[in-house]
Amino acid sequence: MTILNLPNHTILPIAPPRLHPYHLGASLYMPATRLDILAVIKREKLENINSIIICLEDSIHDNDVARALTNLQNLLKNWQQQQTDNPKLFLPRPLVFIRPRHAKMLRELVEVAKIEMVDGFVLPKVDMASLANWRLATQHLDKAKFLMPTLETASIFHATHNDELAIALTESFTQQILALRIGGNDLLSCLRLRRPQDITLYQSPIGALIYRLLGCFVPYGFYLTAPVCEFLDKPELLNSEVQQDVALGLVGKTVIHPSQIAIVQNAFQVSADELTQAGAILHADAKAVFKQDNTMLEPATHKNWAMEVLTRHDVFGLKQQQ
C-alpha cells in the first residue's frame, strides 16, 4: 500500500464575496427555452424569488440547444432595452445566473451581446480534471461577475481530490466565487442511486458527503449551497431537509418549482432567540464568557456564527412565532 503524504498547505481563506451568498436564497432553475424568464426578472411573476439560474445544461435536450441559445439572446436584448427605457421595472430584481453546458459554451457566451446584464455563471461539473478548461473560459469574462462552480462528479467522493480542488479554487479565477453548489442528483447518480421519496438527502450517502465537503471547503472561505429536493408533493420533507441545510451553514437551496420558494425562504429566517444571542455576543461590552437563556455564550468562538445570524436576519427577516 502506498501512503500519499501531501505537503502541508497553509490555509489562506479567500476574501469574502462583496455580496453575501445568503442573498441567493431559493435559487430557481429555469430552462433557457422558457418564454417567461423576463417576467420573473421584472418580478411580474414569482415576486418572492431571490435568484434564478437560466439553464443551458441538463434541462435542455440536445435538439433544443440552438433554440435555447436564440431565446437567451432575445431575452438579453429585450432586458437591456426595457431597462434602458424604464430602469424602475427592474428594481429590485432577483440575481440572475446562466448555467452553460460546458466550458466551450461559456467562452461563446462571453461574446454574446448584452451578456453583461447577468450577475454571473454557474459552472457545472467542476473538478480537477475540468478546472483548467473553466479557467480558460473565464479569462475574458468581466471580473465583476460572480461564479458558482458545482461539485457533482465522481471525483468529489475522494477526499484527496477535494483538498487539491479547494486550494486550486482559491487561485484559479479572477472573478469572485459567490458559492459552491452541491449537485445532489448527479452525485447520487455516481452511486447508481436516486433519492428515495420518504427520506431527506441527509439520510442518503450524500448526507455524509455534504458533511465532508463543508469540512473541506468552508475553512478556505467558501460558502456552499444545498441540493434540490425534487419531490413537489412533499412539503414536510422539504421543510425538514432545509432546516438541516440551515443548521449546517449552507447558504441557499436549489428549487425547481414555485411552490418550494416560500418553504426555503422561511427556513432561513432567524428566530428571536438566535437574534438576541447574536446581538449579545457581538456587543462591545460582552464578557469573555457569559450565560444567557440557559446557554453559555463565548464571543471568541461564537463571533462568526453571530455575524452569519445577523446577515441571515438582514436578508430573510425574523421567524413568525407559532
Q: Are 260 and 228 in contact (CB under 8 A)?
A: no
DSSP 3-state of 27? strand
> Torsion-angle region of residue 125: left (phi > 0), alpha (psi -120 to 50) or beta?
left
58/308 Cα distance (integer angstroms): 33
Q: In terms of DSSP bridges, do strands 290-292 and 180-182 run parallel, antiparallel, or are they unpaired? A: unpaired
Q: What is the per-residue burial (b if ≥16 Cβ within 10 Å, else e) of 136-150?
A: ebbeebeeebbbbbb
Residues 308 and 187: their CA atoms lie apart, in Å, by: 28
Collapsed DSSP state (helix, strand, coil) of residue 118: coil
Nearest 5°: phi and psi at 123? -100, 110
What cell was used for 64? 433544443
Amino acid present at 240 = S
3-state helix, strand, coil in the chain (%, to 5): 45, 15, 40
| Cell numbers standing for residue 74 | 432575445
**105, 133 Cβ separation under 8 angstroms:** no
Would you call 279 exposed, middle or buried from its count of C-beta atoms within 10 A (0-12, 13-18, 19+)?
A: middle
Q: Cell numbers of 60, please? A: 435542455
Residue 314, annotated ligand binder?
Answer: no
Binding residues: 186
Binding-site members for Mg(2+) are: 186
